Structure 1
């Protein structure tokens, strides 16, 4: 796996993570992870449970110390700074709001606990709270308590509290994990708009692929404590670095094949091999909704349709291909021609990706 830093660009780098490793007993949570975030960038750390993404976030927040490696922010040695001096705002999955405090008191908390010499006046704190209530669209709710709010409203309060201290970096640890799907979708777009308005460099942890691809400027994909790939959402989806990334980012069909010179052979189907494909035995991946259907005497993989199920605007097509039951998808509302249960046909993967076996 590749855990080398992404190449620098003309944009100013804010966050530089170099060779970070962290173990808990014999369990290696992070192994030599290096990546960068640009100033004002929205970076998603994406991976399954146990991939190390939350451990990395906790190191940035000062809640964990790495065993090895360096973190710099704005060119400064970040790990050498006391947590209070790092200028980090953090939002957790379960809000972590103070139940005995009102919305306004929760938002103001980070300012009111500052040392007297650094603490704004009461009037300044009140004004900051008003600004943030407007920013997160919770005007008029300042006197309510967290138990009087919906889940989405509580998460907005948590974000406002994190922003109250005017952080240099915002850390979000699966902030929508406790919310239902519809609220998550609504808050996703709102959070992206909020990021555009505030311009705070943001690191966002999630295991939700759709969330990461929709929200982030770039996505860092982790597995077993190592960095698999770092790139723009479209880059990692269109050109996954390895089979894990392809499979993790969406529904996938996997088949065995072989590349000979510039030809790809899968069962009785032969086509031009993708550029840069390895020679010899390979694994061939394609998305189940990125296929074309052809008659039995046409080109493609021989398939027998077992069932066809309409699901709203989409169609699920279960096929047997080379002894493997494969679930394909077609986007409706009309059925692809020649597709029906019991029929034989050919399928042509439109954009197969090829990896060494």
Structure 2
């Protein structure tokens, strides 16, 4: 059975087939740049070649801004975008979103052009560099979680400064998808609470493997990192644009870790030296102050002696002798008064009275008996003498006038 279409219907049918294919909506095509034209509208039209075919491409103005002036005929490039149909010509084409150099010459030209442009913007200005914390307690490590770089950083940090907590932020570090992955990882850093520093590291490899770190989006993300960032990318001879944008760059991941994490043993040694220096300083200052105080004391003492003591020495000696005499008279007077008081107390002492032959009488309930009228015949009483007590029974009571007759 033959299906009948007009030209517009067939074109629309084919366009729908192309646009519904998931593989054609988001793809990357690698080829040789054959033609490259910038239209007055700002759109860019170019062609990429394979061994036996070609593909027309268009890069709209909104995406063309990020394309540098480096594309030249013969450059090997990777074009990201989607396949679509252009009805007026009845031809399919690649609607590009991104154009990435692959060949060495193109990469070098693109990097140099981007470097000059970003340098003009001030992205590499040394005045923007932030100091790396001397004692970082939390650090983010942005790298591949399975690569050698992360192992190097962990090893160095565990030896030099294990007090620092490491947060691994995984990302791709090579390939055409690496720039987007690195940018996303750098954006995640801002959500890590209490972060002090970040390390962007990648192990050795070919120079092409480091191309993601020359990507404009990556370079800008490095500069916008909310905390100081240290890069350690590739080998000693490699220098990426991300290195230029970082606050500090090192030739390797291990070197980046060494420049980020302080040596704890060196810190302890420095603390000991500082403690010793402080102790010596305090002792020196204390000795100086002590000597100064002694000097001031002697100076004041001499002034007092000269002005007050020595000039009035005779008067002081006379007053001192007079004070001693008066004190002695007072003491003798108080001694005499004390002796009289002692004699008076001794004469009034009950024991003194008892020693003269007198006795003290009381009843059995220890009440004092001072009169014969207080006792009754037959009552028991206690008579106290100086050398002891006797118990007696009252057998008779003799009035005063009868006692005088007896």
TM-score above 0.5, yes or no: no
Q: Determine which structure has the larger strand proportion and give its number.
A: 1
TM-score range, shorter chain: under 0.3
Whichever structure has more helix as a proportion of its residues is: 2
Give 1 or 2 for the bigger CA radius of gyration: 2
TM-score in terms of structure 2 length: 0.21
TM-score under structure 1 length normalisation: 0.23
Q: Which has the higher contact order (CA 8 A, sep 6+)?
A: 1
